[in-house]
Amino acid sequence: MDAVLLGFLPGPLAGQAVVDILTGRTNPSARLPITYPKFEDGGGIPYMHAVSDMCTKDTDGPLPHFENQDCEVQWPFGHGLSYTVFEYSGMTLNTNELKYRRRQNEDPVLTVSVNVHNSGDRAGADTVLLFTFDEFRSTTPESKRLRAFEKIWLEPGETRAVNFTIDFDDLRFVGPHDDTHYILQNGMKFRVGVGASPDCRKNPDISTCSSPVTITTDDDYVGACEAACNVWAESGCSKYHHMTMDKCWDLCGSIHQDSSNELQMNNDGW
């Protein structure tokens, strides 16, 4: 097969839409919202999976007769075809370091820009996807994470710059303490990748993958303290008990930093 048309539940006007795509009257621009399995048993792995989720390969050698490898899929999340060709170039980031300071007025944002060029002889729409790849963190990161997307229309030979903005809160993750709050991690690095299926883990040096971006925090930053003090501030109790946000941070941080045997609370669980 040169191509497969996947329609799911297209509705009562599906017939005309299918005819338009197959005859070329319409240039398709859809992206797969799932990972399509390769084998009949439905095996493989979904798009949203931990970097540690692997499949095994039979080595037919000494015990244990297998080794870990990436799972094979038929088509990955975000895959899609078009009757024209889109090329990406000139990806830039506004910074390679995002600094979180609890006393600053606004959190930093990451701005990503990439040029999309229609190098084919037909006009068409392209859905530009932006992923992030965490290099490490205190809990197992996802293999990749879709952060933003935008669909643009390009005439043959046309080039357009597409800009994305990633809010700082989007880069938080569920911490190791429990599953009720999101945290940051000082020194955590990640890469940005654009396109349908960039692999910035295996191929970090390709043009559609960025250099590492580092998140830095205050030396006294504790994720559990941030979550606890935000709950305190939102509760409205602070105006009755006269404990400011800064005082809450200092109290919680002092418990976290205490290494004596008298305070058995040095577990980020204030």
Each residue's pLDDT tens digit, 103-122: 777 888 999 999 999 999 99
User: Rounded mean pLDDT of 25-30?
Assistant: 93
Measured between alpha carbons, how far is residue 10 from residues 18, 48, 183 in Å?
9, 25, 40
Closest of 200, 211, 219, 222 to residue 138, by C-alpha: 222
Distance CA 161, CA 117 (A): 9
Shared domain for 260 and 162, answered yes or no, is: no
Radius of gyration of the chain (CA): 24
Q: Domain residues for 245?
A: 220-270
Residues 194, 118, single domain; the answer is yes
Q: Are residues 200 and 227 in the same domain?
A: no
If asked whether residues 119 and 178 sit together in one domain, one would say yes
Residues 236 and 257 in one domain: yes
Q: Is residue 248 part of a domain?
A: yes
Same domain, yes or no: 176 and 231: no
* pLDDT band for position 191 (cuts 50, 70, 90): very high
Q: How many domains does the chain have?
A: 2
What would the mean pLDDT of 250-266 be, rounded to a whole number? 65
The CATH code of the domain that includes 121 is 2.60.40.10
* 40 assigned to some structural domain: no
Instruction: Spell 207-236 as b/e; 16+ CB within 10 A means b.
Output: ebbbebbebbbeeebbbbbbbbbeebeeee
The answer on pLDDT for 11 being more than 70 is yes
User: Do both 199 and 148 map to the same domain?
Assistant: yes
Are 207 and 99 in a shared domain?
A: yes
Do 104 and 173 belong together in one domain?
yes
Instruction: Decide if 41 contacts 72 (C-beta within 8 A).
Output: no
Q: Cα angle vertex 203, ends 198, 205, to 5°?
A: 105
pLDDT in tens, 138-187: 888 999 999 999 999 999 999 999 999 999 888 999 887 767 778 888 99
Same domain, yes or no: 138 and 181? yes
Residue 149 lies in a domain: yes
Q: List the one residue out of 181, 99, 101 whose CA is nearest residue 139.
A: 181
